[in-house]
Amino acid sequence: MNIRFKPCSVNDCARNSHTDEKGCRGFCYPHYQRFMRNGDPEAGWASPGDAIRFVHESAVHYNGTDCLIWPFSRSGNNYGQLKIDGKHIGAHRYVCIVVYGEPPEPELVAAHSCGNGHLGCVAPRHLSWKTQEENSADKLSHGTHNRGERNARAKLSNDQARQILSLKGSKTQKEIALMFGITHSTVSEIHRGTKWGWLNSLYRKEKEVGNG
């Protein structure tokens, strides 16, 4: 089998970045491993202690309003990460714990006010403990969510989903399904909130305001 060749995006690197050779994100395998470990494909190999030192010696003392970008390992969704006691933890969550203490409730998340968590921001002034619902609302306002029509697998637009919700009670689910070219079960799931649940909740709130 002929192995396809795709040059690595790092300058002066002649290695293959094609997936046939375990390349990823335009990097050859070695540079991709450096990118995942350090956040920089051309950085040297950082030790686990470097990431912890960065948090305690740099990040927690940073008081700027600009984002502070994590310079070490990244997770699959590009958030910074480090290993504590053998377990991976989000760098933003660890910084939030060190600066503000453990979350009042274990289910709270370390939320970003800047909307740049996916870029690796760990600036303390941009972090706070919030519920998952509050964090999701922030993502909607930042435009960083991947729900609804922003999801690559979505077959409906946000407006179409709103229409389906507004038709509840005035038409049968079968009639609605035929109108939008979707299955009866999809209509049922939208009405119950098991699909597009965030929009269902937003729609109810808008109706309450309109009826208020």
Mean pLDDT of 198-205: 59
Domain finish residue from 142, 168, 202:
142
Helix (H) or strand (E) holding 92: helix 91-100
Q: pLDDT for 16-39, tens place per residue?
A: 887 777 778 888 877 777 777 666
Task: Judge whether 2 lies within some domain.
Answer: no
Rounded-to-integer distance, Cα 104 and Cα 110, Å: 12
Total count of domains within the chain:
2
Residue with more model confidence, 50 or 38: 50
Q: Tell me, what's the pLDDT at 99?
A: 95
- Token representation of residue 152: 């690559």
Residues 120 and 168 in one domain: no
Mean pLDDT of 35-46: 66
Residue 84 has pLDDT above 60, yes or no: yes
Q: Tell me, what's the pLDDT at 102?
A: 95
Residues 131 and 157 in one domain: no
Structural domain range at position 155: 148-211
Q: pLDDT for 148-196, tens place per residue?
A: 444 434 467 777 878 888 888 898 988 888 888 888 888 888 887 776 6
Residue 126 has pLDDT above 90, yes or no: yes
Rounded-to-integer distance, Cα 210 and Cα 189, Å: 25
- Predicted structure pTM score: 0.52
Q: How many residues does the chain have?
A: 212
Residue with more model confidence, 115 or 155: 115
Residue 69 maps to which CATH number? 3.90.75
